[in-house]
């Protein structure tokens, strides 16, 4: 089986590369990326931890016909739903390869701007400035997503709806995520503005075991039997604005979420920050800063950011990021987290990530 894990992505890469070499009009396209990371984690009261990690992904898309495409991606790491990182350890053992994406996308010719995707899909919902208040950027949900966008007209807008299967349970009710998000995407003489709202309803969650790891609630409240104490019905508002008058592609952004399920106390979260610059050509850079505050039952902890406040819900603090375009396909990055492990003035948490990113 280990040999299969190693050979399979190589065979996919070679086969797709051969197909792509047959001509520029090939219906199949190939992509790949690699990230090498050195990470320092320092938690108050514990010894500092250093580790080296890789993230390797190979993907391909195929246009089956004019309005139907297929997507597939293999990724390193474990079965963690919010990470394809692989720690370099274990006495030089071989590392796992997993199916990270496998989906179809259908765009009916009669309705411009409409698409339906199904399978293990890319997250269809907008994540303001990739700040991961509700979702980790590496989360690829499973099920169906319907999207519609209109770029023309007086008010360009977008609408997304999902029916995602979170857990299929053999003898109990299945856990599903019903989600919808809508917003506007405006460009005016004053600013480029993206604003919207979303509602995400996790069905059959309360009194069930935590998602992914039944022994770890990732900060969410559980009862005496280790089951979720509350439902999660998240109402979200978000905003991004890039003023045209300011140089350097400055963007300000904010997001707010509230779990409006009944009888939930610690149910809110928010973040706000700004970014400047844009990595585009060698020698260019961008930088960002934001502050995040996330109470323990505002969102499902298993799916929110895996790096902020040691992962999961219930944390607050600062995040600073700097990216530098070293070459056309190479970016150097540094991200620093200065957080607390609880919104009630928990232990100090420091995390520094130094990355080299390569993209095919």
Please give the mean pLDDT across all residues of the chain: 93
Does pLDDT of 119 surpass 70?
Answer: yes
Q: Kindly state the average pLDDT of the residues 344-357.
A: 97
The region of weakest confidence among 5-19, 185-199, 227-241 is 5-19
Tens digits of residue pLDDT in 220-230:
999 999 999 99
pLDDT tens-digit series, residues 27-45:
899 999 999 999 999 999 9
pLDDT tens for each residue of 144-156: 999 999 987 789 9
CATH topology (fold) of 2-359: Porin (2.40.160)
Domain ranges of the chain: 2-359
Predicted structure pTM score = 0.90
The pLDDT score that the predictor gives to residue 23 is 46
Q: Please count the other Cβ atoms lying within 10 Å of the Cβ belonging to residue 21.
A: 9
pLDDT tens-digit map of 58-95: 999 999 998 999 999 999 999 999 999 999 999 999 99
pLDDT over 90 (residue 19): no
Counting residues of the chain whose pLDDT is more than 70, the rounded percentage is 93
């Amino acid at each position: 089986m280990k040999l299969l894990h190693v050979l399979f992505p190589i065979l996919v890469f070679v086969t797709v590369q051969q197909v792509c070499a047959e001509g520029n009009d090939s219906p199949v396209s190939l992509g790949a990326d690699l990230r090498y990371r050195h990470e320092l984690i320092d938690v108050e009261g514990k010894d500092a931890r250093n580790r080296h990690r890789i993230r390797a992904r190979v993907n391909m898309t195929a246009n089956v016909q004019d309005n139907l495409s297929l997507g597939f991606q293999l990724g390193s790491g474990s079965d963690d739903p919010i990470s394809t990182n692989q720690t370099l350890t274990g006495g030089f053992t071989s590392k796992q390869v997993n199916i990270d994406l496998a989906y179809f996308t259908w765009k009916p010719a009669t309705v411009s701007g409409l698409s339906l995707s199904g399978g293990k899909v890319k997250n269809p919902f907008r994540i303001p400035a990739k700040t991961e208040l509700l979702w980790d950027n590496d989360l690829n949900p499973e099920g169906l997503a319907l999207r519609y966008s209109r770029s023309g007209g007086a008010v360009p807008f977008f609408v997304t709806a999902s029916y995602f299967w979170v857990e299929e349970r053999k003898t109990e009710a299945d856990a599903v995520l019903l989600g919808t998000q809508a917003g506007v995407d405006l460009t005016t003489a004053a600013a480029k503005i993206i604003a919207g709202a979303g509602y995400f309803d996790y069905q059959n969650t309360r009194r069930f075991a935590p998602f992914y790891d039944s022994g770890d609630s990732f900060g969410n409240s559980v009862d005496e039997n280790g089951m979720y104490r509350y439902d999660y019905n998240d109402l979200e508002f978000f905003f991004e604005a890039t003023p045209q008058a300011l140089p350097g592609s400055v963007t300000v952004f904010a997001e707010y979420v509230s779990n409006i399920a009944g009888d939930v106390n610690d149910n809110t979260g928010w973040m706000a920050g700004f970014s400047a610059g844009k990595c585009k050509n060698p020698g260019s850079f961008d930088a960002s800063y934001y502050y995040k505050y996330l109470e323990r039952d505002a969102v499902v902890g298993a799916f929110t950011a895996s790096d902020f406040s040691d992962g999961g819900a219930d944390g607050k603090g600062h995040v600073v990021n700097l990216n530098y375009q070293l070459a056309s396909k190479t970016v150097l990055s540094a991200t620093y987290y200065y957080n607390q492990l609880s919104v009630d003035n928990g232990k100090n948490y420091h995390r520094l990530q130094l990355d080299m990113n390569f993209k095919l």
